[in-house]
Structure 1
Amino acid sequence: MFTIAVQQQQYKTYILSDETAGSQLEVVPERGGIITRWRIQGQEIFYLDTERFANPDLSVRGGNPILFPICGNIPDNTYTHNGQQYTLKQHGFARDLPWEVTDQVTQDKVSLTLVLNSNEQTRAVYPFDFQVLFTYELQGNTLEIRQQYKNLSSRSLPFSTGFHPYFLTVDKAGLEFEIPSQKYQDQITKEIHPFNGNFDFSRDEIDVAFKQLTSQSASVTDNSRKLKLTLDYSNKYPILVFWTLKGKDFYCLEPWSAPRNSLNTGENLTVLEPGSSYTASVRLTADFF
């Protein structure tokens, strides 16, 4: 049985349930269209910093924030388009703006569709007209996120997009990684390192990008939680970013369509012609063992 309930918490929260599987998803449209929680049989999949979430002046640290129209940051938070300079903060504005629910499905599956349309606020920092549609679909132990990006401008629309899922963990030493790449770039030092499946979790921060991906699937096995997470992504995502902080009970494995600063460099940047659209999908599967 599939259901959608609406609760008025600090924000209006949509709770999607696959009751047969004991799987639940919580979505908060007005707080960046974010998935805040995903539970399977009462076990939390995502980490959520509830204090930051409660403060609308802070970006959310937890759940699955949406990255658009950039991934990462750009130098001095500025870029130039048609000779004019604009300010765009890290990861863009989609994760901070309210989204609207446009569709709900509870027949044979449970899904929620949200939309973000360009407006005066977005055009002040990103001078384009667009529409972004996300469908969150929950079935069993699988969460699928289907996306559609539409260029409503009379000129080309440049962007990158991605996700920043925070996965809950209690013992990073018990994590095993299967990432389809043999090297990564340290985003702090810019150095390239070979990857043998391990990270040095004694470091204060790990922030690395895998660019030469050899498949559309990666997984992390958390032996302390007896949980294997599999991330499947369409070929629109040629980059995986891994990020974590020492002393925090999370790690992030993030599919990105382009690297940092692509709005300035053009590297892997998606450019949509006027009136055209672009689709992508990401699927997360959580298996307890």
Structure 2
Amino acid sequence: MIVSIRNEHLAIDFSTKGAELKSIVGIDSSVNYMWRGDAQFWGKFSPVLFPIVGALKENTYEYQGDKYNLSRHGFARDMEFAYELIGTTEIAFKLRHTEETLKNYPFEFELTLRYRLSGASLQCTYQVVNPSDKTMLFSIGGHPAFAAPLNSEGTYTDYYLQFNNDDEVTFHHIEDNLIADETTTIQLKDKVLPLTHELFYGDALVFKNLKSNHIRLLNTKNYNGLNFHFEGFPYFGIWAAIDADFVCLEPWCGVADGVNHNQQLEDKEGIEKLAAGETWERSWEVCCF
């Protein structure tokens, strides 16, 4: 089911399946800032990654002596969320544990994705509540795919990412969907990373030590672009499907297993630990122009 919010600047569409952001359209310009979801390349738009980010080693983890299986990025992106419209400019999607989720993820949870429009900006807030009497372990992350080019003018290589606090970036390579020890450092002229399709032929670029909390998607042909702001996310991914005209800007609290991980959930890098009865929140925001 498609549901929408809007204001005088932007019109936003979501799917209740996965609480997935599907389009951000400028009211005056008619520019859609989101990827179109062409299944020939990648049929998603902005999945939520929960309760894991990335892949598990052998798609398996152990917790308190038992083994469980979760597919890459977890199950939330494939589940139907309840929703509540808050006026015309805000919407909240909610998901709770079920008997089925408990089979492979033995934690009770309440997950809320709240989207709010303010001017030409859309804020996404992840809220996780632990309703149980034991500590909850989880990871969560965003995966929004932004179009490049944003309209019919220009090509992919006319676009670039500009970081606010990094003169160089070091990313981890991915090996069989897992995080490898091998890294590559890219020097950034004027804090700019030019986009090329070849940049993503080895899968996502996984950053563990970004200094930036603000990345701009810009181009050399026109003034259309966006500012992507994120706080409190220790990991970040940048990805595009092979030869596809989009770029994903992915703030993560959690990361895929390393190639040498022992598969113990409590030892998983970046795992969040939420005490009984506690609430956890993080937000990212995109401003379109």
Deviation (angstroms), 1:117: 0.5
Distance 2:243 2:136 in 1: 40
| TM-fit CA distance, 1:135 | 1.0
Matching residue's letter, 1:172:
Y
The structure 2 residue matched to 1:149, chosen from 124, 128, 148, is 128
Residue 176 (structure 1) aligns with? 160
Say whether 1:69 aligns with 2:51.
Answer: yes
Further displaced range: 120-129 or 204-213? 204-213
Q: Does 1:82 align with 2:71?
A: no
Question: Which residue number corresponds to residue 34 of structure 2?
Answer: 46
1:192 corresponds in structure 2 to: 183
Q: Distance in 2 between matches of 1:114 and 1:124?
A: 23
Following TM superposition, by how much is the alpha carbon of 1:63 offset from its aligned partner in structure 2, in angstroms? Answer: 2.1
Match of 1:3 in 2: none
**CA separation of 1:224/1:249 partners in 2, compared to 1, >3 Å: closer, same or farther?**
farther
Partner of 2:94: 115
After the TM superposition, which residues 96-111 of structure 1 pair with which residues of structure 2 at under 5 Å, given as runs?
Answer: 96-106=78-88, 110-111=89-90
Count of aligned pairs between the two proteins = 263
Of structures 1 and 2, the one with the larger relative CO (CA 8 A, separation 6+) is 2
Gaps of 5+ in 1: 1-11, 53-59
Q: Equivalent residues in 2 for 1:269-280 (5 A)?
A: 269-280=271-282
In 2, the alpha carbon distance for the partners of 1:116 and 1:91 equals 16
Query: Cα distance 1:51–1:200, how it changes in 2: closer, same or farther (>3 A)?
Result: closer
Aligned CA RMSD, in angstroms, stands at 2.2
For residue 161 of structure 1, report the CA deviation from its aligned partner: 0.6
Alignment pair present for 1:261 and 2:257: yes
User: What fraction of aligned residue pairs are identical, expressed as a percent?
Assistant: 23
Shift of residue 225, structure 1, vs aligned partner: 5.6
Kept in 2, the 8 Å contact 1:206–1:242? The answer is: no
Report Cα offsets for 1:234-264 as digits up to 9, x if no partner.
Answer: 21x1111011133211111110112212846
| C-alpha distance in 2 between matches for 1:186 and 1:214 | 19
Aligned-partner Cα distance in 1 for 2:223–2:181: 34
1:41-97 C-alpha deviation (Å, 9 max, x unpaired)? 311111132558xxxxxxx73321111111111111110111111110101111000
8 Å contact 1:62–1:165 — kept in the other structure? no
Could you tell me whether the CA contact under 8 Å between 1:46 and 1:62 is conserved in 2? no
Cα contact 2:197–2:243 (8 A) shared by 1: no
How far apart, CA to CA, are the structure 1 residues paired with 2:64 and 2:51? Answer: 17
Question: C-alpha distance in 2, partners of 1:245/1:50?
Answer: 11
Question: Per-residue deviation at 1:190?
Answer: 4.1
